[in-house]
Each structure stands twice: as C-alpha cells, then as structure tokens.
C-alpha cells in the first residue's frame, strides 16, 4: 500500500476531557491549527494562531 502525500501530518498540542487542540502540516507547506470545543471546531492559519495565543495570554493577566 502506498502512502498518500496529500494527507496532512497532524500532531496533538493539548487535550482535556472536553477540549482538543492540534496542528496540521499541510501538503502545501502551510501549518494550520485547530481547537475542538465540544461540537465546535475553530481553524487558524499561523498568523491567526499567534494572535489567538496573544489573546489567551492577555486573559490571564
């Protein structure tokens, strides 16, 4: 069986009982980030992800 080079390579970033964050290395070289919040999934490109992380850091503070 040959592997499909069009499939993204995924990696779990973090997970809890109800939430799941993961990233995907897309075949075109783009990295996308995803957060699953129960039945909602939010998708980010790299620049959006960095801004989202900044937002989360500011919430703690």
Is residue 22 a part of any domain in this protein?
Answer: yes
pLDDT value for 21:
97
Is residue 54 a part of any domain in this protein?
Answer: yes
Each residue's pLDDT tens digit, 12-23: 999 999 999 999
CB atoms within 10 A of CB 44: 17
Is residue 1 a part of any domain in this protein?
Answer: no
Is residue 38 a part of any domain in this protein?
Answer: yes
Each residue's pLDDT tens digit, 3-59: 567 899 999 999 999 999 999 999 999 999 999 998 999 999 999 999 999 999 999
Q: How many helices (H) and strands (E) does the chain have?
A: 1, 4
Q: Which residue has the tokens 């939010």?
A: 42
Is residue 3 a part of any domain in this protein?
Answer: no
49: Cα separation from own chain's centroid = 8
Predicted TM-score (pTM) above 0.75 = yes
Domain range holding 46?
9-59
Task: Give the chain's end-to-end CA distance (angstroms, integer).
Answer: 51
pLDDT value for 19:
96
Per the structure, the count of domains in the chain is 1
Structure-token pair, residue 29: 């070289």
């Amino acid at each position: 069986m040959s592997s499909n080079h069009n499939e993204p390579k995924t990696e779990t970033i973090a997970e809890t009982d109800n939430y799941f964050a993961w990233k995907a290395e897309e075949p075109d070289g783009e990295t996308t980030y995803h957060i699953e919040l129960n039945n909602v999934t939010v998708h980010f490109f790299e620049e959006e992800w960095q801004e989202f992380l900044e937002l989360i850091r500011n919430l703690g503070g």
